[in-house]
């Protein structure tokens, strides 16, 4: 049976105890209430103390952040940014920013003085500021607002069309997953026990001053699981560093002595960048003996079974011209910049490339990690040096000649992502200016080609216009120009579904192929809008053939390897004996000695310490958006204010080079 009394002990300063009979004792309730009130008071005081401590820490934190930003600006190399940043677009943004600041000052004065245009008569105007406010209000209603409304509606239509295209691509990807559609290989493609049935394959590695990655690139190619007498590896070196040339020759000679069929080529006249390098290599007499060519950039590390997973797709499929593999990234978790790039490229491969490959048999060649039928290259005109996107150029010309493409989503090749914003920005400039160059050059050929009208429409309206021109145009114009402008034009205010609901939904679709990136949904949305200024500038320069559209900057590499690569390397090293290492060193001694002599002749050049850059266009847009957010705050716009605020802060972080690799 349960006891009929309860003993409650309440600790007090005198350590006394109180015995209470019965569960409903009023004394017990009063004492418990008194103690609870005292405890609540102490907890409340503790929380208040913590709040004051936090408030006292905030000024110090803001001061430290301000000092850090001031040092960053003082130590940054403003010459790193191209002079184009001071061109027409930059001047336009600065002028827009100046007008916005003036308008904001007038709006602030009008807000605190409660001026209302509808209630003020002309003879009641007091002072120049009030007259300026009335003049500005009348001018914007009559002249600026109608133009802004028309432009915003036009951009919204483009935005909806592009969003619909992306939604259709995602539905196509879901259908592929649901039906488990995959490219198939003939059962009797090649006889594994008879190497003579394997086709002749040429493997090319174009490189230019790739000191950090040349060794791992050559090693990955030389370990390819393919009959050695059916494979030739070409190292196509465009380096202008004599010492680096000797190092690459040394590495090639080492693998050549191990029985690998590998040769080193260096051009005396370096024209046409990568396209010129590949074109020169394909002009060799011995190329006619080979049926396929596999191409890898210097930072790509294919698995040994790459050729056995790709080449069999050509067997029994004479119309197949290209087999493209997917990229995988060893440094996708290095920093925020690489994580955001991984989201974009996962969507590109998983959705865009796979859907276009399954339903259209066409997509843009990625320039690496692909295998071409040499006959398709020759019939399509070979490599041309007319654009900075030679890979897309040859893909379009091959498509116009009737060749089909296959994308293998399950075959992945390791590579690197740019880790600094400077490198990423230059890469994106080339990737978005080149397609506009190519569109101008290919449009007559597309219109006069013999392919179906559907394929012509797909090339012109979807492949080029919608995904290469319209996307950067509306993204920059709508979210970086029109949206801040509408904060000063209440008549042209954008609806919430344009600036919030649809962009978040589209970003959600983009992240689906990389589900681990869901925590970065909002940073991804903000960063994509931030990159729109670079993409828009590149698109315009490519479309109108400006000087910057012909620039080719080799993407900097770090030579990173994944954990699995390091384990595999350790395993391979453990299997090799010390005698083999000694023999290898002896075989390399001549070239090593020559390399040392060359290094002694040339005085060592001290490495220049890298500095963070200052990007003027991004900073100008940051202040423009923050100015618009202040105007939005006065009008209590809500979502508009938060979007402009965080978008302005993201532009500020990028403009001060606070994203990606921190160089100090």
> In Å, how far are 71, 173, 477, 547, 618 from 66, measured between CA atoms?
9, 47, 31, 38, 19
- 274: pLDDT strictly greater than 80: yes
**Residue count of the chain:** 664
- 13: pLDDT strictly greater than 50: no
Give pLDDT, residue 77. Answer: 56
pLDDT digits (tens, 9 = 90+) for 434-466: 999 999 999 999 999 999 999 999 999 999 999
Per-domain boundaries in the chain: 195-418, 423-554+612-663
Closest alpha carbon to 271 in 550, 566, 56, 4: 550
Question: Where is pLDDT greater, at 13 or 506?
Answer: 506
Give pLDDT, residue 66. Answer: 64
pLDDT digits (tens, 9 = 90+) for 159-175: 999 999 999 999 999 99
User: Which two tokens mark 189?
Assistant: 């493609």
Lowest mean pLDDT among 462-466, 509-513, 658-662: 658-662
Question: Where is pLDDT greater, at 10 or 626?
Answer: 626
Question: Where is pLDDT greater, at 569 or 363?
Answer: 363
- 82: pLDDT strictly greater than 70: no
- 557: pLDDT strictly greater than 90: no
Give pLDDT, residue 63. Answer: 67
Kindly report whether the global pTM for this prediction surpasses the value 0.85.
no
Grade residue 548 by pLDDT with cuts at 50, 70 and 90. Answer: low
Round to whole Å and give the CA distance between 644 and 391.
Answer: 38
pLDDT digits (tens, 9 = 90+) for 381-417: 999 999 989 999 999 999 999 999 999 999 999 999 9
Closest alpha carbon to 389 in 357, 362, 367: 367
Question: Where is pLDDT greater, at 326 or 124?
Answer: 326
- 20: pLDDT strictly greater than 90: no
Lowest mean pLDDT among 99-103, 243-247, 522-526, 660-664: 660-664
Helix H segments across 76-87? none
Give pLDDT, residue 175. Answer: 97
Question: Where is pLDDT greater, at 348 or 15?
Answer: 348
pLDDT digits (tens, 9 = 90+) for 290-332: 999 999 999 999 999 999 999 999 998 999 999 999 999 999 9
The total of other beta-carbon atoms located within 10 Å of residue 413's CB is 19
Catalytic residue selected from 237, 238, 297, 299 = 238
Lowest mean pLDDT among 130-134, 349-353, 635-639: 130-134
Lowest mean pLDDT among 50-59, 325-334, 367-376, 536-545: 50-59
What are the residues whose beta carbons fall under 8 Å from the beta carbon of 377, sequence distance 6 or more? 282, 293, 383, 394, 398
pLDDT digits (tens, 9 = 90+) for 27-76: 444 444 444 666 667 767 776 777 666 666 656 655 665 666 666 666 66
- 19: pLDDT strictly greater than 50: no
pLDDT digits (tens, 9 = 90+) for 213-266: 999 999 999 999 999 999 999 999 999 899 999 999 999 999 999 999 999 999
Domain 195-418 = CATH 3.30.2020.10: no
Give pLDDT, residue 379. Answer: 96
Using alpha carbons only, give the angle 106, 108, 114 rounded to the nearest 5 degrees: 100
Give pLDDT, residue 127. Answer: 66
User: Which two tokens mark 631?
Assistant: 């105007």
Assess whether 240 carries a catalytic annotation: no
Average pLDDT over residues 360-373: 96
Q: Across all residues in the chain, what is the average pLDDT? A: 82
- Beta-carbon-side half-sphere exposure of residue 245 (alpha carbons within 13 Å): 12
Average pLDDT over residues 346-351: 97
Assess whether 238 carries a catalytic annotation: yes
Q: Percentage of the chain surpassing pLDDT 90?
A: 61
Closest alpha carbon to 292 in 265, 258, 255, 322: 322
Lowest mean pLDDT among 98-102, 116-120, 612-616: 116-120
> In Å, how far are 28, 43, 644 from 31, measured between CA atoms?
5, 19, 55
Catalytic residue selected from 237, 299, 391, 657 = 391
Give pLDDT, residue 622. Answer: 96
Average pLDDT over residues 76-94: 66
pLDDT digits (tens, 9 = 90+) for 609-632: 556 678 999 999 999 999 999 999
Q: Percentage of the chain surpassing pLDDT 70?
A: 75
What are the residues whose beta carbons fall under 8 Å from the beta carbon of 121, sequence distance 6 or more? none
Helix H segments across 458-562? 471-476, 483-486, 496, 502-511, 521-543
Expressed in angstroms, the distance from the first to the final Cα of the chain is 75
């Amino acid at each position: 049976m349960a006891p009929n009394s309860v003993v409650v002990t309440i600790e007090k300063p005198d350590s006394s105890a109180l015995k209470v009979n019965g569960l409903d004792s009023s004394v017990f309730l009063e004492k418990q209430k008194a103690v609870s009130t005292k405890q609540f008071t102490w907890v409340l005081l503790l929380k208040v103390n913590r709040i004051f401590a936090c408030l006292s820490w905030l000024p110090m934190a803001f001061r430290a952040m301000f000092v850090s930003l001031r040092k960053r600006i003082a130590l940054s190399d403003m010459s790193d940014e191209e002079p184009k940043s001071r061109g027409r677009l930059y001047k336009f943004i600065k002028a827009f920013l100046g007008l916005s600041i003036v308008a904001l000052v007038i709006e602030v004065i009008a807000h605190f003085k409660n001026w209302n245009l509808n209630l003020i008569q002309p003879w009641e105007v007091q002072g120049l500021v009030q007259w300026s406010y009335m003049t500005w209000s009348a001018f914007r209603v009559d002249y600026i607002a109608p133009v802004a409304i028309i432009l915003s509606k036009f951009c919204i239509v483009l935005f909806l069309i592009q969003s619909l295209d992306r939604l259709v691509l995602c539905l196509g990807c879901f259908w592929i997953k649901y039906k488990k559609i995959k490219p198939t290989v003939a059962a009797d493609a090649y006889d594994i026990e008879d190497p003579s049935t394997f086709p002749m394959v040429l493997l090319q590695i174009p490189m230019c001053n790739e000191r950090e990655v040349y060794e791992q690139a050559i090693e990955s190619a030389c370990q390819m699981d393919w009959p050695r007498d059916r494979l030739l590896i070409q190292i196509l070196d465009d380096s202008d560093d004599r010492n680096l040339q000797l190092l690459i020759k040394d590495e090639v000679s080492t693998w050549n002595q191990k029985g690998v069929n590998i040769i080193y080529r260096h051009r005396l006249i370096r024209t046409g960048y990568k396209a010129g390098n590949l074109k020169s290599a394909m002009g060799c007499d011995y190329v006619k003996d080979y049926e396929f060519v596999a191409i890898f950039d210097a930072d790509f590390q294919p698995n040994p079974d790459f050729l056995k997973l790709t080449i069999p797709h050509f067997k029994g499929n004479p119309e197949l011209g290209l087999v493209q593999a997917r990229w995988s990234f060893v440094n996708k978790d290095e920093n925020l910049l690489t994580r955001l790039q991984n989201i974009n490229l996962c969507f590109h491969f998983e959705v865009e490339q796979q859907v276009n490959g399954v339903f259209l048999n066409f997509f843009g060649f990625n320039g690496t990690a692909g295998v071409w039928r040499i006959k398709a290259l020759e019939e399509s005109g070979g490599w041309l040096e007319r654009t900075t996107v030679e890979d897309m150029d040859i893909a379009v010309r091959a498509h116009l000649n009737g060749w089909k493409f296959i994308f293998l989503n399950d075959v992945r090749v390791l590579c690197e992502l740019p880790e600094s914003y400077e490198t990423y920005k230059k890469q994106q400039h080339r990737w978005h200016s080149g397609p506009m160059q190519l569109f101008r050059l290919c449009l007559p050929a597309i219109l006069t080609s013999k392919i179906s009208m559907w394929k012509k429409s797909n090339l012109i309206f979807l492949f080029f216009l919608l995904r290469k021109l319209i996307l950067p145009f509306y993204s920059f114009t709508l979210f970086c120009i029109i949206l801040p402008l509408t904060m000063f034009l209440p008549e042209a205010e954008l609806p919430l579904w344009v600036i919030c609901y649809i962009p978040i939904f589209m970003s959600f679709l983009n992240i689906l192929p990389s589900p681990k990136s869901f925590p970065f949904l909002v940073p991804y949305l903000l960063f994509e809008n931030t990159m729109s200024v670079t993409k828009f500038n590149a698109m315009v320069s490519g479309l109108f053939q400006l000087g910057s559209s012909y620039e080719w900057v080799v993407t900097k590499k770090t030579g990173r390897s994944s954990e699995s690569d390091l384990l595999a390397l350790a395993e391979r090293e453990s299997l090799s004996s010390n005698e083999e290492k000694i023999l290898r060193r002896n075989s390399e001694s001549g070239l090593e000695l020559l390399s040392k002599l060359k290094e002694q002749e040339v005085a060592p050049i001290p490495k220049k310490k890298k500095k963070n850059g200052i990007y003027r266009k991004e900073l100008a847009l940051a202040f423009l958006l923050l100015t618009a957010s202040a105007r939005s705050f006065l009008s209590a716009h809500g979502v508009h204010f938060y979007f402009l605020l965080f978008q302005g802060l993201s532009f500020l972080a990028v403009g001060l080079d606070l994203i990606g690799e921190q160089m100090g």
